[in-house]
């Protein structure tokens, strides 16, 4: 089954919100199977069926394997379908629940790109999977989608998120949550000295967020409203976050021409800064995890609860 991802009546789905919801539902289904100790082992577009309500149903449980209570891996015979199998399945190594997350990464890319496989043409897929040669260029500037797919298709199964972790990924955050995250990052380092470890570590992510001074990427009328109040260092990621936070808090007072450019809070406003700095959310998400902030109460809403 090559299976296309189609909506009712056979329409290819390109609406990003619908794609988000379908992938979320697929991961929720996988999370449920895994909570029962079931590994599907053969997830692919052809058996993740879309119902007429546009919901995802996981079918074709023929190859699935039940893990015993304390077991987390199993020996593999040649389960799965060429092109959707993780490296460890292809090589016949011991497998874990992570094989399903790999397949979800491939399916997610397939859905987001209207049927393109992240490991290339059919004949090369398994070889590319074993070699770890993937191509996410068709995802364009959607860095949240790219970060999620790349994590899911990691060569080492230990590097793949669990279904629960994947569901909490920034790709799925609504605009309000994404914007709040940036503001929380800004608040977290607001009172730190510029030479403090937290700020230095944050600035290490700056080159991935902007090239050259960040004011050059933004509309001149927005920059002029910044200059009225205080000084900003245009080479600093912390100062960019500070600017985003301050102008969000004073959004009502912005001149109309500026409001027109930066949009309404939260959707338009976050979209404006993500369009200018596509990696801003994913880089700060990495930063927060590196610094261990994910355990702090002010960041707990962005991460799964720690396992009991």
Task: Give the tens place of pLDDT for each residue, 281-294.
Answer: 999 999 999 999 99
What pLDDT does 164 receive? Answer: 98
What pLDDT shows up at residue 229?
75
User: Angle at CA 63, nearest 5°, toward 67 and 129?
Assistant: 95
**Count of Cβ atoms closer than 10 Å to residue 162 Cβ:** 18
Chain region(s) in the chain for CATH 1.20.1440.180: 175-302
Residue 32: name the closest of 162, 137, 130, 136 by CA.
Answer: 162
Q: What pLDDT, on the 0 to 100 scale, is given for residue 16? A: 86
Return the SS3 of 6.
Answer: strand
**What number of other Cβ atoms are within 10 A of residue 272's Cβ?**
18
Helix or strand (DSSP H, E) at 260: helix 256-262
Q: How many CB atoms lie within 10 A of CB 100?
A: 29
Residue 155 is given by DSSP the state S
Give start-end residues of each CATH 1.10.510.10 domain in the chain. 16-172
pLDDT value, residue 288: 98
A 10 A CB-CB count for 152 gives: 27
Which of 3, 116, 117 minimizes the C-alpha distance to 56?
Answer: 3
Spatial distance between the Cα atoms of 111 and 23, rounded to a whole number of angstroms: 8
**16-172 CATH pick, 1.10.760.10, 1.10.10.10, 1.10.510.10, 1.10.275.10:** 1.10.510.10
Q: With beta carbons less than 8 A apart as the criterion, state whether 157 and 86 touch.
A: yes
The highest-level CATH class for domain 175-302 is mainly alpha
Known catalytic residue: 126?
no
Contact (CB, 8 A) for 262 and 222: yes
pTM: 0.89
Would you state the torsion angle of the CA atoms of residues 294, 300, 302, 306, taken in this order, to the nearest 10 degrees?
70
pLDDT at 96: 94
Nearest by Cα to 173 from 22, 12, 60, 24:
24
Return the pLDDT at 9.
45
| Distance, CA of 99 to CA of 57 (rounded, Å) | 18
Q: What is the pLDDT of residue 3?
A: 42
Q: Which of 42, 100, 184, 239 is catalytic?
A: 42
Which residue positions in the chain have pLDDT lower than 50?
A: 1-4, 7-10, 77-78
């Amino acid at each position: 089954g090559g299976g296309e991802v189609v909506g009712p009546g056979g329409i290819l789905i390109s609406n990003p919100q619908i794609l988000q919801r379908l992938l979320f539902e697929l991961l929720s289904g996988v999370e449920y199977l895994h909570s029962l100790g079931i590994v599907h082992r053969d997830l692919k577009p052809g058996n993740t069926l879309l119902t007429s309500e546009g919901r995802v149903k996981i079918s074709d449980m023929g190859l699935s394997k039940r893990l015993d209570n304390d077991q987390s891996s199993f020996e593999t015979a040649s389960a799965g379908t060429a092109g959707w199998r993780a490296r460890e399945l292809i090589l016949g190594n011991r497998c874990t629940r992570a094989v399903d997350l790999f397949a979800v990464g491939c399916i997610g890319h397939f859905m987001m790109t209207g049927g393109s496989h992240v490991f290339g043409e059919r004949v090369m897929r398994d070889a590319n999977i074993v070699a770890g040669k993937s191509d996410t260029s068709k995802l364009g500037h959607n860095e949240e989608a790219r970060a999620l797919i790349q994590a899911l298709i990691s060569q080492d199964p230990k590097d793949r998120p669990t279904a629960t972790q994947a569901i909490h990924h920034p790709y799925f955050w609504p605009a309000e949550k994404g914007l709040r995250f940036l503001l929380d990052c800004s608040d977290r380092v607001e009172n730190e000295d510029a030479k403090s470890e937290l700020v230095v570590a944050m600035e290490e992510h700056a080159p991935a967020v902007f090239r050259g001074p960040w004011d050059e990427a933004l509309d001149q009328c927005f920059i002029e409203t910044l200059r009225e109040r205080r000084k900003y260092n245009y080479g600093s990621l912390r100062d960019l976050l500070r600017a985003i936070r301050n102008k969000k808090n004073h959004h009502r007072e912005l001149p109309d021409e500026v409001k027109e450019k930066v949009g309404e809070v939260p959707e338009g406003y976050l979209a404006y800064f993500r369009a200018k700095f596509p990696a801003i959310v994913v880089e700060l998400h990495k930063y927060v995890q590196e610094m261990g902030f994910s355990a702090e109460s002010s960041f707990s809403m962005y991460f799964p609860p720690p396992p009991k």
